Structure formats: structure tokens, C-alpha cells
Amino acid sequence: MIKIRIKVNDMNILAFDIGTTSMRGILYNEKGKELAEASQLTPLIFKEDYIEQDPLVLKEKLTAIAREIAEKNEVDALVLTAFRSAPALFDKEGTPLSNFIMWQDTRNKEICDALSPLNNEIYPKVGAKVNAVFTASKVTWFKRHLKEAYEKAYKALVVPDYLLHVMTGSWTSDKTYGSRTGVMSIHTHTYDPEMLKLYELDSEKLPGLVEVGSVIGYTTETFAKETGLKAGLPVVSSGGDQQNGALGLGELDDSSLVINCGTGGFIISLANEPHLENQALICNVSAVPGKYTLESNVLASAAALNWVLREFFPDLWNDGHPDFAAFHRMVEASPLGAGGVVCVPLFQGCGSRDWNLDARASFSHISLGNTRADLGRAVLEGIAAEITKSVRNLPRGTEREVIYIGGGLTKSEFFDQILCDMLGVPLLRYEDAQATAIGAFISAAVTLGIYDTYEEAFRAAREGTKTYRYEPSIENHQAYLALIEKTEEVYKALN
């Protein structure tokens, strides 16, 4: 719950990066160079329309990663970043009373629909319209449908809160996660009484809020015994995964813009104060203390591509993994515009620009002359089109000297060039794709006094990293402007 300054010359920091379907631990030295890495899969649980995760499985995986790293390496401090909006209920001993409701789970849609007419009052207070992704309405669902568990619960925690509790025994959440609840004031950074009342929530059931980049506690004797780590190591909460991803890509002031394409696509710029002029944007607390992120999202990015690969390209799979290189060679043969095929890849609904969770993906304008390569390219172009629409909603939009990109989907240079041509702006990608973990290292390195500023820590972590720069084709950009309009026409016609 405090921020400390240790000022050391030699410190190894273990950064936990908790993703939706996997987690990894990366050990960095004080210069941000990777010393060791371990990872674990964290499968989702599908129950009809529900999407969940088991807290005890996440605890087991976290412990296994820490044990593997500690077995052969010295660890001096820990830092954790995670996806942001998936709550579960816990009793006072930290025993789970429910599974986590995942951020993609929309069982709370009815609750959100009832509150959506109040968006003009809600948005200026919390920085986001009512939506099924954020935490509060999921906890409301617990209260209404798991009444006994809710009443017995000591706290409702999201995944990072729980894993920090596993390591330190704390019952706290940092304010980046608080800004994803829907009930934290974006102005005071405290839970808003009126918002709590709207969502029928009890403030004592929610964790305390601390500043991002705080030492929220120290490793317990129990965690040390389970992992082989030392007890008493400082544990830093560096904030949400997308905030850290932006930091790891170099978003240090309000002139920059980053696009992080993982399971979903996240488009983020930085602001010095809350920006509440456009309800298509989400205003959150940044990983850089005292600053804010302005965010737009595309709910299915790499997830959309994975679906297409699974359903249309089964011959490209080997040992449970698709051959992306073969896929890209195939779709490169399809011309710009995918032979006329238009894909609107809203497989999980439309994100923040419209918050329409009833929307679904579509393929249109298909003829007998089209091939599956056209369908594959159309998906990539559709994802890029949705990202471009989201970029346009941000202040200064595409008026940038360069946009930084990262995430698993950007490992495809073919997709990167499509996105570059679509935006009409040069793109810069680091060869090291671990932007989120690097952001966590930067946060911890400043908190622990290894570096005085985020700029210094960023330069150290990225020193010597190869970069790739993409330049837009003016001709392709003009053609893609028409395609963007066509995808929007299809979206509006279907919705």
C-alpha cells in the first residue's frame, strides 16, 4: 500500500503477465534484460453462454511459474499485471465462493441494458458508458443470482487482486483496475456512492484502492514455502495489462498512440487529465501515475483470426497450432479488397465505439469466384478497418507521425502492412512482442528506485531491441478508405 525507494544497483524483478488464456513470468535484471521465462496455460470454462475461470487453477499456475523461476534464479522483487475485468467472490480466508466471470461473459447484459439510459449521467462520473465488460455489473449479477455466496463473501476481487492476495495477503486493487469497475469516480479515484447505489453494491465488498505502481505488500511465508521464493520480497501492482502494454510500447506522453492486437484490439492514447468529450472512448487511470488513458477497443482481434483458421483452414493445423506462415502465403495471393468480400469481424459484438454486444460478425459480397483465401484476407482487412474506426475516435485520430503497434497479431508483417495502409500512418513495431511484461518491469523499476523516471526505465528496457517500420501506400490507402465505408454500411444495415 506504499511506494518505496530502494535504490539498488543489482536487482532481479519477476514480472507476472496474466493473459486471458495463459500466464507467464519473465525475470528481468535491473537493465530490463530477460534472464528467464516460464509460462502456463489457463483454459477458460464454457458453461452454455457463460465464460469462467477457476481461481484455484490460476493460483496453481502462478505458483508453478514462480517455483520454476526461483529454482534456478535469484528473485529480489515481483510485479504483476493482468487483464482487468473478471470478478469472483472470496471469503475472509481467501477461499473462492465462485469462479471468475470473464470479461467476455455477457450474462450481465440485462443489468447493463437497464442502466444504459443513464449514460449521460454515468459517463462524466466514471469515464465510460455502461457496458457488460466492466466489473460492477458482474458483481451485481452475483448479488442477484448467487445471493448466499454474495452475502458470505468478504470481498469481490478481479483476477489481479486475487493473485496479489495469494502472494501478499492484501485485499487491495490499484486504481487502473478501479477505473474498469464502472463505480470508481474518474475524478476522485474513490468509489462513487451514487454509482454503488445504481449497481446495488456494498462498498465494503470491494477491495481498497491504491495508487498504480505501489508496493501493495510483501511475499508471505506461505507463498515463499510454496514457491521457493524468499519471504518479504516487495510486490508491485503495475496496473492493467493494456495500460502496461501501452507503457511497454513507449507511450509516455499525450503525443503518442499505441495499438495492441491480442485476443482483442486496444487502441490507447495518453492524457494529462480526464477527457470526457466523446462517449465512444473509455477514460481510465494510466500505468503512469497522474496520467489517464483514452481507450477504444475491438472485442475480437486475434480471436477472430483464430476462428477463421480453425473453421476454414483445418489443413494448416499441426499439433494444435496453426501454420501462420502458410496462411499468410495463401492470403497474400488474394488482391487488395479480398476479391470484393467484405468482413465485419464483430464476433463478440461491437466494442466501445458503439457498445453493441448484440452485433455479430458477417461476410458479404461473396460470389462463386471467391476463394477461402479471399475470406482469410477479408478477415484481416475487417480487423484493420475496425481498428481504424476506433483510432478516428481518439483526439488527433490518424494525425500522428507514427503509431506504435504490438501484440500477437502484429507478428504478421502482412497484417501490419494492411493496417498501415488502412490508417495511412507509419507504424513502428518492436521485435520483442512482450510489451505488457516490459511495461510491468518499467513500473516496478521506477517504484523500486532503480530508475528515476519512466523514460529512463523505458530506454533501458528497449535498448538494442530491433524495430520494424511500415510506410503506407497512398494508392492502397485511398482504396481502403472506400472499404472502411463499405464495412460500416454493412454493420449499420445489419444492426
For the chain, 495 residues long, give each residue's pLDDT as a single digit of tens: 444 444 445 899 999 999 999 999 999 999 999 999 999 999 999 988 899 999 999 999 999 999 999 999 999 999 999 999 999 999 999 999 999 999 989 999 999 999 999 999 999 999 999 999 999 999 999 999 999 999 999 999 999 999 999 999 999 999 999 999 999 999 999 999 999 999 999 999 999 999 999 999 999 999 999 999 999 999 999 999 999 999 999 999 888 899 999 888 999 999 999 999 999 999 999 999 999 999 999 999 998 999 999 999 999 998 878 899 999 999 999 999 999 999 999 998 999 998 898 899 999 999 999 999 999 999 999 999 999 999 999 998 899 999 999 988 999 999 999 999 999 999 999 998 779 999 999 999 999 999 999 999 999 999 999 999 999 999 999 999 999 999 999 999 998
Residue type, 451: Y
8-state DSSP, 314: G
Burial readout 352-362 (b: 16 or more C-beta within 10 A, e: otherwise): bbbbebebebb
Rounded to 5°, the CA angle 249-393-410 comes to: 35
Using CB atoms within 10 A of its CB, is residue 414 exposed (0-12), middle (13-18) or buried (19+)?
Answer: middle
Whole-number Å distance between alpha carbons of 250 and 270: 11
Using CB atoms within 10 A of its CB, is residue 482 exposed (0-12), middle (13-18) or buried (19+)?
Answer: exposed
Q: Is 35 left (phi over 0), alpha (psi -120 to 50) or beta?
A: alpha
Q: What domains appear along the chain, each with residue ranges and CATH number?
A: 13-249 (3.30.420.40)
Whole-number Å distance between alpha carbons of 200 and 123: 18
Model pTM score: 0.91
Residue type, 51: I
Q: Which three cell numbers stand for residue 120?
A: 449521460
